């Protein structure tokens, strides 16, 4: 497995792999791997000749006061896991190499980033779409792999790929969960044991909504009221948002009449967790 940290060098390497006719699968990450990342790498391994993983804690997708400094980092552990998973190349650039002095070009997806995490984290998706565009240009993958836990991110990246006519497929894979249902996230390691127990409320909220829909409830307000009550009853949890929306446009829905995205974000002390479920009518 090769580890490269210079953008021109990764670009040269990937260009020559493409010229040799190799297909490239990209797994963009911020490191601190868990089973969710590994499942993306395994799918990339199964579907491409070459698997490239990027590890970069992207400063411009963190707002002021967010957890950029305390975001979990474990480069050596990540490299060992990537190698065991059959990754061919890991790109680990520095922030200075990605955003050199004078950098001033950003990529913005407008409407899809207005609600949900975009409303709570102004500027976050601009940071994501800018780094993802740079990574797509450096690595020129045939496929890029994302997890459903970050559903809005994947919708925004798909839009970016369509709108800018980028020549790659976005592959979305299911959220990987702990045995008790908590969605795997690099941030989970920062939960205290009581917060970790309380964090089960995210998954419980999704199950509650699915169950209400399965017995015929169609009012978004009724379901959202129940979820808010469930989260408010958990003393360590602070609800950031919960929404039922159209899975394509991400606009809020009043009634559940077709496939619906339930998305939520909840804080436990300084750790903000997200989760979602794509609810289908029975
Ligand atoms: O999902 C993530 O880990 C990040 O947002 C990504 C896609 C690697 C961009 O920094």
Ligand 1 neighbour 55 (Cβ under 6 A): no
Specify the pLDDT at position 201: 98
Residue closest via CA to ligand 1's atom 5 equals 128
Give percent above pLDDT 70 in the chain.
100
Residue 61 CA, closest ligand 1 atom number: 10
Specify the pLDDT at position 16: 97
pLDDT in tens, 17-57: 999 999 999 999 999 999 999 999 999 999 999 999 999 99
Specify the pLDDT at position 252: 98
Specify the pLDDT at position 106: 98
* Selected catalytic residue, list 37, 124, 142, 203: 37
The rounded Å distance from CA 116 to ligand 1 centre is 17
Residue 236 pLDDT more than 90? yes
Specify the pLDDT at position 4: 98
pLDDT in tens, 259-272: 999 999 999 999 99
Residue closest via CA to ligand 1's atom 6 equals 29
Q: Is the dihedral of CA 152, 154, 160, 163 positive or negative?
A: negative
Residue 282 pLDDT more than 90? no
Annotated active-site residue 37? The verdict is yes
The rounded Å distance from CA 230 to ligand 1 centre is 30
Residue 177 pLDDT more than 90? yes
Angstrom distance (rounded) from CA 260 to CA 240: 20
Specify the pLDDT at position 260: 98
Question: What is the residue-averaged pLDDT of the chain?
Answer: 98
The rounded Å distance from CA 213 to ligand 1 centre is 32
β 2-4/89-91 pair status = parallel
pLDDT in tens, 98-131: 999 999 999 999 999 999 999 999 999 999 999 9
Specify the pLDDT at position 190: 97
CB 107 within 8 Å of CB 133: yes
pLDDT in tens, 68-85: 999 999 999 999 999 999
Specify the pLDDT at position 126: 98
pLDDT in tens, 188-222: 999 999 999 999 999 999 999 999 999 999 999 99
Residue 63 pLDDT more than 90? yes
The rounded Å distance from CA 35 to ligand 1 centre is 16
Residue 168 pLDDT more than 90? yes
**pTM (2 d.p.):** 0.97
């Amino acid at each position: 497995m090769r580890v490269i940290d210079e953008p021109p060098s990764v670009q040269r390497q990937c260009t020559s792999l493409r010229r040799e006719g190799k297909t490239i699968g990209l797994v963009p990450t911020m490191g601190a791997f868990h089973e969710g990342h590994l499942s993306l790498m395994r799918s990339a391994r199964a579907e491409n000749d070459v698997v490239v993983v990027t590890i970069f804690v992207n400063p411009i997708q963190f707002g002021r006061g967010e957890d950029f400094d305390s975001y979990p980092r474990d480069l050596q552990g990540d490299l060992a896991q990537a190698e065991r998973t059959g990754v061919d190349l890991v790109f680990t650039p520095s922030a200075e190499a990605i955003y050199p002095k004078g950098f001033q070009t950003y990529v913005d997806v407008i409407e899809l980033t207005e609600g949900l995490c975009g409303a709570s984290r102004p500027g976050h998706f601009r940071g994501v779409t800018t780094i993802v565009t740079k990574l797509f240009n450096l690595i020129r993958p045939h496929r890029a792999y994302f997890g459903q836990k970050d559903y809005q991110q994947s919708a925004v990246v798909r839009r970016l790929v369509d709108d800018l006519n980028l020549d790659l497929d976005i592959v979305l894979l299911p959220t990987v969960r702990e045995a008790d249902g908590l969605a795997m996230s690099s941030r989970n390691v920062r939960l205290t044991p009581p917060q970790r127990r309380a964090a089960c409320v995210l998954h419980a909220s999704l199950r509650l909504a699915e169950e209400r829909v399965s017995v015929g409830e169609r009012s978004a307000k009724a379901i959202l009221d129940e979820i808010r009550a469930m989260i408010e009853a958990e003393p360590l949890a602070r609800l950031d948002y919960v929404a039922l929306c159209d899975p394509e446009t991400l606009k809020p829905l009043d009634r559940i009449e077709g496939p619906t995205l339930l998305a939520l974000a909840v804080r436990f002390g300084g750790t903000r967790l997200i989760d979602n479920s794509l609810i289908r009518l029975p």
